[in-house]
Amino acid sequence: MSKEELIKGLNEDLSAEWGTIIRYTYQAGRSFGILGAELREIFARETQDELGHAAFLTDVIIDLGGEPTTMPQQFEKSQDLKAMLELDLKMELEDVQHYIEHAKIADELGNVELKMKVEEMAADEAGHARELRRLLKGL
């Protein structure tokens, strides 16, 4: 694996992070009622995590000599809370997989700091997935 492939992979992750920030902000606006109030708090908290991930990826891509994307990954809009959360769970699990793959590439390239930080982001996304799974259980 080359540095260029790592930059490409991290840029896909960055696009996914921008997309998630927009998705959670949109979904918070579409959340009503008592469950909606709880969801808005969770979306607000998770958005802060995703913003941290996006800022980290932006810095790292520049440090690696790449150009960080500012294009968010598109998503399917829904007004149904259950459908929203199911999509979010699917996307979080995909993010976990991507970060695990990209941590491996960072490791192969001998970049221990990046490997560990990307693994940490995989763990953050797995935590988000766990929270979403618990919410879905109650629906």
Angle between the N-to-C axes of helices 112-137 and 81-108, in degrees from 0 to 180, rounded to the nearest 10? 160
Four-point Cα dihedral 60, 73, 25, 7, nearest 10: 0
- Total residues at interface with Fe ion (CB under 5 A): 6
Q: Of 36-44, 46-54, 55-63, 71-79, which part binds Fe ion (CB under 5 A)?
A: 46-54
SS3 69: coil
Binding mask 3-42 for Fe ion (x = CB under 5 A): --------------x-------------------------
Helix axes 33-63, 81-108, angle to 10 degrees: 20
What is the per-residue binding string for Fe ion in 59-98, x denoting contact by CB under 5 A? ---------------------------------x------
Compute φ and ψ for 5, nearest 5 degrees. -65, -35
Does 50 sit near Fe ion (CB under 5 A)? yes
Closest to Fe ion by CB, 45 or 82: 45
Q: Which residues contact 19 (CB under 8 A, 6 or more apart)?
A: 72, 73, 74, 75
Check binding of 53 to Fe ion (CB under 5 A): yes
Task: Work out how close the CB of 92 gets to Fe ion at its nearest, in angstroms, rounded to a whole number.
Answer: 5
